[in-house]
Amino acid sequence: MSMSRLDQLYRRLLLTKFFTHGWGKPENLKRLFAFRKILSNRETCQHLVPADYPIYIDKEYKDNGARILEGHFTSPFVHHLPGIMPKEVETASFQVILPDQWRSPPLKPICIHLAGTGDHYFWRRRFFTARPLLKETGIASILLENPYYGTRKPKKQLRSSLHNVSDLFVMGGALVLESLALLHWCEREGWGPLGLSGISMGGHMASGAATLWPKPISVIPILSWTTASVIFTQGVMSGAIPWQTLQEQFFENSVYQEEIRQLITSPEDQRRKAYDMGQQFVKDYSNSILHMESMHQHSTHPQIKKSTLVKQSIEHKKPSRGKTNLELDADMKGPKVSDTFLTPDEYLSHMNSEIIDKPSSTGDLTVNKPSSTGDLTAAQQQSSAHLSHCSNKLSSSASPLHSSIVEPMSLSSLVQESKLEPDRPNESIKQKQHMNMTAESESLGLKFAQSKSRLMKPTVAGEQVKDLQQEALDFMRGVMDECTHLGNFSVPVDPELIIIVSAKQDAYVPKEGVLGLDDLWSGCEVRHVNDGHIGAVLWHQSVFRKAISDAFERQIIKYYQNPGQQPSESIKQVNSH
């Protein structure tokens, strides 16, 4: 599926840059990684946010048939990782949109909506989501303001531009704990069933909060997926990252490479390693089978191939001559020398000891025997030519750079050399020919390698720059997977209450090559809109609200069917099974 052009154009029009100050302090990253490992297990973080965590209501009023509450509380994140959050970020603000009267008491459904990238304050979620949802379905809403956004934005921060990569992890850790605090408060107020939702980054944060909640909850992640790593390394958002700054910091401070990198746990890396191991096993297994079959053939049919080779050589009735290229090509397509088990010396010895009938120039049959004078018979010439041809094929297959066919040496030249050099009468034809071919092959191979190196080899400096860029990109992918990959967290209590809304042409959140959220949370539902990220936000809000309504309906049917039974009792019974 092609990526949305609207997504690409919209991102180009925005001048906002993210992480302009770099990765963040190494000490902060270490603390965040350690805290992530606590959050990854729902059992270990049960008491991070007490059930009676204090929530304060500052204002209450009515507006267009709805009750509006405004409140605040101190982020629980401050108590667990003090000193990382800027002062402006520590206090969480929220709005609650309630109906004047609940439609179906004792049911009081309420959903927490988390903000997407650039969604400051409350007006956008209140106008497009909370009010229509209340009017259409009777579901109330809580709008939580993101850390680093709206009234929680640090003074020196420009718009939505987080200064450091670590700020994104602070935002995520704070939001999941703040969501838990609000869920506990909803239970104290007697509201339920409960749900979590959000668009884009808000959807991912809602998914993270759902992994920590110890009870069934409706979850509706909209336009989000399994990890943020693909967003910042593959999606259109990667163009808003100052890679040069990140690259320089990564190599200037060895702590990032030597210490922080060792703390990274990426489910994607583990999945790729498992895939590579499987591929290697298949390759090795296939090679082993072929080797065993070859050994079996060698052990059961060693003599057949020798006799076949001798028979083929006897069938050559004409004197040896220089072959054309077409004939040589045909020979090359025939049986390979490697398929036979008769050595050249054995072959020549066999031919010299055999009596072969050969037609003479007059048509009469003659009996050829080895000559004592050193002159070679026609049959010997033929066998030597065949041996030269086999050696030529063997050398060609052993030297991939030698692509041309080398003409075999003539027997007359070998005889002449044997006469001129009586001190080496036992030198074989194969050795002579091998020396000739090796020299030519080396010459051709050297010329080819030199030309290839001049045309194709990149500069050393270019290779180094490319390696540095890849190192920084891999580190970004690793730290994002460490802190945002949902495979590093628990699976929500009941995945059947999860409805994911995805855009088929989303250029902000690529899904290729990454573990699917539906694979990670078996039992959830994925709904698709045929649009990009921006187009889905502009034209498919009704689809989003329908998914929220359906997810709550499932929870009501599954856990709130008995009017006389308290929801908490039904949930306890489900958990006991």
Of 68-72, 202-206, 355-359, 465-469, the poorest mean pLDDT is in 355-359
List, for residues 117-162, the tens digit of each pLDDT value.
989 999 999 999 999 999 999 999 999 999 999 999 999 998 899 9
| Higher-confidence position of 438 and 96 | 96
Q: What angle do CA 261, 265, 267 make, to 5 degrees?
A: 135
Of 20-24, 81-85, 332-336, the poorest mean pLDDT is in 332-336
- Local confidence band at 12 (pLDDT 50, 70, 90 cut-offs): confident
Classify strands 194-199 and 218-222 as parallel, antiparallel or unpaired.
Answer: parallel
266-290 per-residue burial string, b: 16 or more CB within 10 A, e: under 16 = bbbeeeeeeeeeeeeeeeeeeeeee
Task: Let me know: does 236 contact 507? Beta carbons within 8 Å.
Answer: yes
Q: Is the pLDDT of residue 251 over 60?
A: yes
Q: Is the pLDDT of residue 43 over 60?
A: yes
Q: What is the mean pLDDT of residues 351-361?
A: 45
Whole-angstrom distance, CA of residue 555 vs CA of residue 137: 14
pLDDT of residue 327: 44
Whole-angstrom distance, CA of residue 55 vs CA of residue 73: 5
| Higher-confidence position of 111 and 13 | 111
Whole-angstrom distance, CA of residue 470 vs CA of residue 227: 19
Strand order in the sheet with 525-529: 56-63, 66-74, 91-99, 140-144, 110-114, 194-199, 218-222, 499-503, 525-529
Residue with tokens 């489910």: 267
pLDDT of residue 45: 86
Q: What is residue 13's three-state secondary structure?
A: helix
Q: Is the pLDDT of residue 308 over 80?
A: no
Which range among 101-105, 281-285, 309-313, 393-397 has the greatest average pLDDT? 101-105
Q: Is the pLDDT of residue 321 over 90?
A: no
pLDDT of residue 292: 65
Which range among 232-246, 262-276, 380-394, 540-554 has the greatest average pLDDT? 540-554
Backbone φ and ψ for 366, nearest 5 degrees, come out as -125, 155
- Local confidence band at 16 (pLDDT 50, 70, 90 cut-offs): confident
Q: What is the mean pLDDT of residues 551-562?
A: 93
Q: What is the mean pLDDT of residues 354-360?
A: 44
pLDDT of residue 358: 44
Task: Let me know: does 382 contact 354? Beta carbons within 8 Å.
Answer: no
Residue with tokens 């302090």: 25
pLDDT of residue 290: 65
Whole-angstrom distance, CA of residue 536 vs CA of residue 543: 9
424 Cα distance to chain centroid: 63
Domain range annotation of the chain: 5-266+466-576, 301-427
Q: What is the mean pLDDT of residues 175-200?
A: 97
Out of 3.30.413.10, 3.40.50.1820, 3.30.980.20, 3.40.50.300, the CATH code matching 5-266+466-576 is 3.40.50.1820
- What single-letter DSSP state applies at residue 200? T
pLDDT of residue 362: 42
Q: Is the pLDDT of residue 385 over 60?
A: no
pLDDT of residue 332: 42
Q: Is the pLDDT of residue 540 over 90?
A: yes
Q: Is the pLDDT of residue 557 over 90?
A: yes
**What are the residues whose beta carbons fall under 8 Å from the beta carbon of 409, sequence distance 6 or more?**
388, 429, 432, 433, 436
- What single-letter DSSP state applies at residue 151? G
Q: Is the pLDDT of residue 402 over 60?
A: no
- Local confidence band at 39 (pLDDT 50, 70, 90 cut-offs): very high
Of 12-26, 58-72, 74-88, 451-465, the poorest mean pLDDT is in 451-465
Q: Is the pLDDT of residue 433 over 70?
A: no
Burial of 388: CB neighbours in 10 Å, binned 0-12, 13-18, 19+: buried
Amino acid at 415: V
- Local confidence band at 572 (pLDDT 50, 70, 90 cut-offs): very low
Task: Let me know: does 202 contact 178? Beta carbons within 8 Å.
Answer: no
- Local confidence band at 345 (pLDDT 50, 70, 90 cut-offs): low
- Local confidence band at 1 (pLDDT 50, 70, 90 cut-offs): low
Whole-angstrom distance, CA of residue 175 vs CA of residue 173: 6
Whole-angstrom distance, CA of residue 23 vs CA of residue 252: 12
Q: Cα dist. 528→133, 428, 506 in Å?
A: 20, 75, 11
Please compute, for residue 266, the number of CA atoms within 13 A of its CA located in the half-sphere on the CB side: 22
37 Cα distance to chain centroid: 23
Whole-angstrom distance, CA of residue 378 vs CA of residue 100: 113
Of 74-78, 197-201, 233-237, 277-281, the poorest mean pLDDT is in 277-281
Q: Is the pLDDT of residue 72 over 70?
A: yes
Of 458-462, 484-488, 549-553, the poorest mean pLDDT is in 458-462
**What are the residues whose beta carbons fall under 8 Å from the beta carbon of 240, sequence distance 6 or more?**
11, 14, 16, 17, 18
pLDDT of residue 431: 52
Of 226-240, 314-328, 460-474, the poorest mean pLDDT is in 314-328
Task: Let me know: does 234 contact 509? Beta carbons within 8 Å.
Answer: no
Q: What is the mean pLDDT of residues 30-39?
A: 95
Q: Is the pLDDT of residue 314 over 60?
A: no
- Local confidence band at 300 (pLDDT 50, 70, 90 cut-offs): low
Whole-angstrom distance, CA of residue 558 vs CA of residue 224: 26
What is the average pLDDT score of the chain? 77
pLDDT of residue 128: 95
Whole-angstrom distance, CA of residue 352 vs CA of residue 372: 12
Q: Cα dist. 356→104, 310, 311 in Å?
A: 107, 12, 12
- Local confidence band at 551 (pLDDT 50, 70, 90 cut-offs): very high
Whole-angstrom distance, CA of residue 514 vs CA of residue 270: 12
- Local confidence band at 394 (pLDDT 50, 70, 90 cut-offs): very low
pLDDT of residue 462: 57
- Local confidence band at 14 (pLDDT 50, 70, 90 cut-offs): confident
Q: Is the pLDDT of residue 289 over 70?
A: no
Q: What is residue 199's three-state secondary structure?
A: strand
Q: Is the pLDDT of residue 420 over 60?
A: no
pLDDT of residue 550: 98
What sections of 322-459 are H helices per DSSP?
325-333, 344-353, 378-398, 411-420, 429-456
513 dihedral zone (left: phi>0; alpha: psi -120 to 50; beta): left
Of 284-298, 445-459, 500-514, the poorest mean pLDDT is in 445-459
Which of 337, 499, 514 lies closest to 430 in space, CA to CA? 337
162-192 per-residue burial string, b: 16 or more CB within 10 A, e: under 16 = bbbbbbbbbbbbbbbbbbbbbbbbbeeeebb
pLDDT of residue 322: 41
Q: Is the pLDDT of residue 567 over 80?
A: no
Residue with tokens 């072929």: 290
Q: Is the pLDDT of residue 336 over 80?
A: no
